[in-house]
Amino acid sequence: MKTNRLILFDIDGTILSTDRKAWEDPFRDAMEQALEEIGEPQKIDTSSYKSGGKTDTQIIYEILDANGFPEETITRVFPAVAKKYLQLLRQIVEKNPQYVMLKPGVKELLEDLKGREGLVLALLTGNFEEGARIKLSAHGLNAYFPFGAFGEGARVRSDLPPRALQAAKAHSAYPFAGKEVVIIGDTPNDIHCGRHLNVRVLAVATGPYSQDLLRAEGADFVFPDLTDRAKVWDAIAKPL
């Protein structure tokens, strides 16, 4: 019997990670350079900011807010900051593809899943779409994900699952719902973002959070990484 599943992959911490030794603080650098270019130079403090599971839009607004920028100013400078961030990201990935590091088992799992009948693979990520595609290009992964829900205009991660469902219906003409929708991610935000839609969540401890914490946050299944393809498939296909 065909197993209908929409599998939504997070990117950072789940599919890949980026080398902070190569680029220590991407958003701080982008903000400071963008502000300099528009004639409003200011040093940006990100020393206590935690970005895990957040959208790029949310990150920019929160960092600038914490640095004293009023909402209307953030909205005004946002396009310049986003443009500069994507420009810098493209430059560093093209110059140093090793900046993007693939997580264990990811490529093999994607190869296994792509040929299964009834499965649709897509992205659910806080990255801007251009940024997501730049990162995935370092390991030739874009072809696995024909569409997704991205961080443009999303101030919270819970904005993303409804967008993904709408895009999936347009792509496949099938109305995925409930536990047919599988989110694979590495943070509590990944676990909680689709709860209002009753999706299933596979959490992987390949980011900053432990298996115990991810389990306590309510993930349906928790894995150390994605290397055990048989167990991951059982979790995806299991009726719930």
- The string of pLDDT tens digits covering residues 134-187 is 999 999 999 999 999 999 999 999 999 999 999 999 999 999 999 999 999 999
- Report how far apart, in Å, the C-alpha atoms of 94 and of each of 14, 49, 100 are: 22, 27, 10
CATH topology of domain 26-97: DNA polymerase; domain 1 (1.10.150)
3-state secondary structure of 47: coil
3-state secondary structure of 133: helix
pTM of the model: 0.96
pLDDT of residue 3: 83
For the chain, the structural domain boundaries read: 5-17+102-237, 26-97
State how far the Cα of 234 lies from the Cα of 240, in Å rounded to an integer.
Answer: 11
| Domain 5-17+102-237 part of CATH 3.40.50.1000 | yes
- The string of pLDDT tens digits covering residues 52-107 is 899 999 999 999 999 999 999 999 999 999 999 999 999 999 999 999 999 999 99
3-state secondary structure of 65: helix
- The string of pLDDT tens digits covering residues 36-57 is 999 999 999 999 999 989 999 9
Nearest C-alpha neighbor of 12 from the set 83, 102, 142: 102
State how far the Cα of 25 lies from the Cα of 42, in Å rounded to an integer.
Answer: 15
pLDDT of residue 2: 77
Q: Degrees (nearest 5) of the Cα angle 93, 95, 96?
A: 65
Query: Are 164 and 196 spatial neighbours (Cβ–Cβ below 8 Å)?
Result: no
Burial class (CB in 10 A: 0-12, 13-18, 19+), 20: exposed
pLDDT of residue 105: 98
State how far the Cα of 61 lies from the Cα of 81, in Å rounded to an integer.
Answer: 10
